[in-house]
């Protein structure tokens, strides 16, 4: 699913003149810093870029097409030369009094985006009018409000200013601020996985603070998963209803698969991540966990346990947990532990696993490049 930037034209990409009609080159002035930072967004981030603009009366005698297209095409060409290509352009020609379904803040021109191909929850509408914010609300996206205190379009919104504030993710008039905001937007994801044996829901925030709410029905497993959140500094909510009346196998294995899949989904294009990541002592034990979110699954497991159960968790399921995680996350995982206390050994593994994840998913927002010579992970 692809996130989208729906970008207004006048007042956002180019300055809006007093008569609100850019029908000559004399009126054309590009918005400050838009080339520098929109080109960085296009190059570094994973958004599809779309233009959506109301052009009142375009094609009528008050706004002839031959005064619109030369300037508009010049704008498009200039952005293209700076590495910004608009995948689609949507231009509504109606007047506000027409209340057309195609006119912002209505979504009549954008129905194709209400599909499984697009991630509207992670999409943004960028514009200088409150109608752009209401469009974001109508799309199920969020708004980036370029506020130059023009108060344009306020007579076209159907919500109060207070209500619209709930849909503004960022208010600014600086394209550098927009770029930095989009780069550092929280990396969150969720997954639901239902089978005949288990029903699983997981919410993940890679940029969290270590908060967790975990309920798998297996207390020791919950304790181990809590280590991932606390020591990995990620927020993790896991709810599992499994067929524990049969045994623990499906609950543990399916949780690991779903957890791996939500990591893979939330990492997205992996730009700027460290990719690799830990060695951790715990009393008599030394656990070594190395991870690589490189797009291929593999597990090396060098850990033996002499007890059949720790708490109510079979020790044979530790291997299955990490193997299933690598399958879901498409990562390499190399685990080794030495020690005598069985509880300490597996807890040390989970803590080292959490620290390895923390290192690997860390994102350097000033170096949004892919850590691979292949160009893909």
Residue list for the binding site for Mg(2+): 8, 10, 128
**Which of these is catalytic: 10, 23, 222, 254?**
10
Helix axes 316-329, 249-267, angle to 10 degrees: 30
Which residues have C-beta within 8 Å of that of residue 62, sequence separation ≥ 6? none
d(CA 328, CA 261): 4
CA distance 228 to 352: 9
Query: Is 8 part of the annotated catalytic residue set?
Result: yes
Task: Using DSSP, state whether 302 is helix, strand or coil.
Answer: strand
Cβ(9)–Cβ(142) under 8 Å? no
Distance CA 31, CA 248 (A): 59
Q: What residue numbers does the annotated binding site cover? A: 8, 10, 128
Q: Is 261 helix (H, G, I), strand (E, B) or coil?
A: helix
Rounded Cα distance, 232 and 289, in Å: 13
Annotated catalytic residue within 8, 23, 92, 254: 8
CA distance 210 to 357: 12
Residue 117 known to be catalytic: no
Cα–Cα distance for residue pair 207/234, rounded to 1 Å: 6
141 upstream amide cis, omega within 30 of 0? no
DSSP state at residue 16 = P
Residues in the chain: 377
- Give the catalytic positions in this structure: 8, 10
């Amino acid at each position: 699913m692809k996130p989208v930037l729906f970008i207004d034209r006048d007042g956002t990409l180019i300055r809006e003149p007093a008569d609100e009609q850019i029908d000559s080159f004399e009126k054309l002035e590009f918005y400050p810093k838009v080339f520098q930072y929109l080109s960085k967004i296009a190059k570094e981030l994973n958004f599809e870029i779309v233009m959506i603009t109301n052009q009142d009366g375009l094609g009528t005698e008050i706004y002839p097409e031959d005064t619109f297209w030369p300037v508009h095409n010049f704008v498009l060409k200039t952005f293209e030369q700076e590495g910004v290509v608009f995948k689609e352009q949507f231009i509504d020609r109606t007047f506000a009094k027409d209340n057309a379904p195609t006119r912002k803040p209505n979504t009549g021109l954008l129905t194709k985006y209400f599909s499984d191909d697009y991630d509207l929850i992670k999409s943004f509408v960028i514009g200088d009018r409150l109608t752009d914010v209401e469009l974001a609300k109508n799309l199920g996206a969020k708004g980036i409000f370029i506020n130059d205190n023009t108060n344009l379009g306020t007579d076209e919104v159907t919500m109060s200013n207070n209500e619209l504030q709930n849909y503004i993710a960022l208010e600014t008039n600086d394209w550098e601020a927009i770029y930095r905001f989009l780069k550092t937007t929280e990396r969150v994801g969720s997954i639901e996985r239902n089978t005949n044996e288990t029903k699983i829901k997981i919410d993940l925030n890679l940029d969290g603070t270590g908060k967790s709410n975990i309920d798998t029905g297996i207390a020791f497993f919950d304790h181990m998963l809590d280590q991932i959140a606390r020591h990995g500094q990620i927020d993790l909510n896991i709810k599992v209803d499994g067929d524990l009346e049969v045994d623990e196998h499906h609950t543990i294995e399916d949780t690991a698969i779903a957890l791996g899949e939500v990591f893979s989904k939330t990492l997205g294009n992996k730009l700027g991540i460290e990719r690799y990541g830990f060695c951790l002592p715990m009393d008599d034990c030394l656990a070594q966990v190395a991870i690589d979110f490189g797009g291929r699954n593999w597990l090396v497991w060098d850990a033996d346990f002499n007890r059949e159960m720790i708490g109510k968790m079979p020790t044979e399921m530790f291997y299955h947990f990490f193997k299933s995680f690598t399958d879901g996350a498409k990562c390499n995982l190399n685990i080794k532990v030495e020690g005598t206390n069985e509880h300490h050994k597996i807890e040390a593994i989970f803590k080292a696993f959490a620290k390895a994840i923390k290192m690997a998913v860390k994102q350097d927002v000033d170096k949004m490049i892919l850590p691979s010579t292949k160009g893909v992970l």
